[in-house]
Structure 1
């Protein structure tokens, strides 16, 4: 077992990008950093007031992840104190749970000297998270495209795309569980074909750095947007405003509760300011894609 005394940094993420439902993820320029030191008992300390309601004992998601991962390899690790600094808004559709799981996997691997490969981490994280989009981007950085089933997993990575990002947070959050409950059990074959085509063209456009086309296809989702948009006041008005401002496209960030807006590089602050004025009941956050995924520093 490796002696403790290290830190791990993990980026925020957004997922889906519209029709890339449950398989596209993008790392963003917000981070969570966790300092790890040996302690008499397991403990988590959050430096940010926003996280005050998160459990700090062994029910904490990071600790639970560490224990699950080391147990998979029939290992046991000594208790640790985890001091967490984060600028990732909690429960705002920026992959905070995936960030915690990715951190837990990295910490477990370091403490128990598990020598986990990237594929090992991706599989474990996707199984714990239940889908692959946020967790792959959190672990690898950049843009990830994943195929994940019980028996198979394939992940392709792209560098962080040359765009700016605005996240628009609504006044009332819709919890992920409730958002998932809005989705239909079945989708007509004809509709699924449309969604698949939109996702394929969008991904190909991203690979070619054609964000005009990617942004247009981002708004052709049939898998979840039609059912979840009801949770966003002024959804159609915001989309129209984004077009007028010059954004590439707007869609729902993950399962919500935020909106993801792709904009030309170096315009994200200007777009965020404009949207703040037009829709003051929302909070606009200007970001960039992040190249780097989870990193351990000793």
Structure 2
């Protein structure tokens, strides 16, 4: 990449089981973008889903960029964009949050908006409709976030150095809107209390490196039971939590991918073998071995 405005945004895995629309962790695979003012809009894309990323009509990044500057009363300068994408689209790995944050950062830079980091994050959270993915992507690490109007309250911790992540990615994507459509409008008090307990435990498990707490801390009764049918990897992978060096298992975001948190450098091999055995011969899924990203978004101008 050359000398334009450059961004590097990590993938994210949200919810982490019980912390629905609240917690997410940044992962060490990225969307990298460089842009400069041009006579017309263009995108050259490499990496995952390059064919989709290179389409300018209806492109999430370009649409968000133009709409935001139009809202602010600024004519959007056309951009020549080069991107390398490692985040699978529609798989629950935070591709939309990364794309929206990229678009907002581009609008702030090329539109001369002068926004602060907090304003960029707030805008992304409003557009996403929930703060978890955007906050983890922007800040890195494990982030627990809440919105109060356009104010984002976020706290982050560094995940333990010896924890790693596996993301099991099926072949067919799932729209977040479809994943949300299967959720009930109301929950029992027992289910609500169980999730409050687990989500509270989750933050402390990360902060104190208490891997033995992740299995109960990632147990969910609000969204995962209702998404089992449309996320078929989940039922076979959930029982692995607490064995084979696997500390916790949850849907990655709204699915259909599944996140496994494992401990120790050697546990990755054991956990991968366990997942392959569980999937059997008929499940065509990619197992991505990764780590947690501590830096969040990086900008170079």
Structure 2 length normalisation: TM-score?
A: 0.90
Segment drifting more, 271-280 vs 14-23: 271-280
User: In structure 2, what is the Cα distance between the partners aligned to 1:242 and 1:190?
Assistant: 23
Q: Which residue of 1 aligns with 2:55?
A: 56
2:289 equivalent to 1:290: no
Contact 1:51 1:90 in 2 (8 A): no
Instruction: Provide, for residues 5-51 of structure 1, a one-character-per-residue CA deviation record: whole Å limited to 9, x for no partner.
Output: 22111111110001110010111000111111221112222123623
CA RMSD of superposed structures (Å):
2.0
User: In structure 2, what is the Cα distance between the partners aligned to 1:160 and 1:73?
Assistant: 38
Contact 1:272 1:285 in 2 (8 A): no
Q: Which residue of 1 aligns with 2:87?
A: 88
Q: Shift in Å at residue 84 of structure 1?
A: 1.0
Task: Report how many aligned residue pairs link the two structures.
Answer: 294
User: In structure 2, what is the Cα distance between the partners aligned to 1:178 and 1:58?
Assistant: 23
Contact 2:61 2:99 in 1 (8 A): yes
Instruction: Provide, for residues 208-234 of structure 1, a one-character-per-residue CA deviation record: whole Å limited to 9, x for no partner.
Output: 121211232102x11101111222336
User: In structure 1, what is the Cα distance between the partners aligned to 2:48 and 2:11?
Assistant: 18
State the secondary structure of the residue aligned to 2:237. helix
User: In structure 1, what is the Cα distance between the partners aligned to 2:151 and 2:105?
Assistant: 22
Q: Shift in Å at residue 270 of structure 1?
A: 4.1
Q: Which residue of 2 aligns with 1:192?
A: 192
1:122-271 paired onto structure 2 within 5 Å: 122-150=121-149, 152-162=151-161, 163-219=163-219, 221-233=220-232, 235-266=234-265, 267-271=267-271
Contact 2:231 2:255 in 1 (8 A): no
Q: Which stretches in structure 1 are left out of the alignment for 5+ residues?
A: none
Contact 1:103 1:294 in 2 (8 A): no
Q: Shift in Å at residue 242 of structure 1?
A: 4.5
Distance 1:151 1:57, change over 3 A: closer
State the secondary structure of the residue aligned to 2:52. coil
Segment drifting more, 232-241 vs 27-36: 232-241
Q: Shift in Å at residue 67 of structure 1?
A: 2.1
User: In structure 2, what is the Cα distance between the partners aligned to 1:77 and 1:151?
Assistant: 24
Contact 2:240 2:249 in 1 (8 A): no
Q: Which stretches in structure 2 are left out of the alignment for 5+ residues?
A: none
Structure 1 length normalisation: TM-score?
A: 0.91
State the secondary structure of the residue aligned to 1:17. coil
Contact 2:202 2:218 in 1 (8 A): yes
Instruction: Provide, for residues 69-115 of structure 1, a one-character-per-residue CA deviation record: whole Å limited to 9, x for no partner.
Output: 33444333421111110111222210111110111111112212333
2:30 equivalent to 1:31: yes
Contact 1:23 1:146 in 2 (8 A): yes
User: In structure 2, what is the Cα distance between the partners aligned to 1:210 and 1:99?
Assistant: 29
State the secondary structure of the residue aligned to 1:84. strand
Contact 1:268 1:287 in 2 (8 A): no
Distance 1:130 1:36, change over 3 A: same
State the secondary structure of the residue aligned to 1:53. helix
Contact 1:161 1:289 in 2 (8 A): no
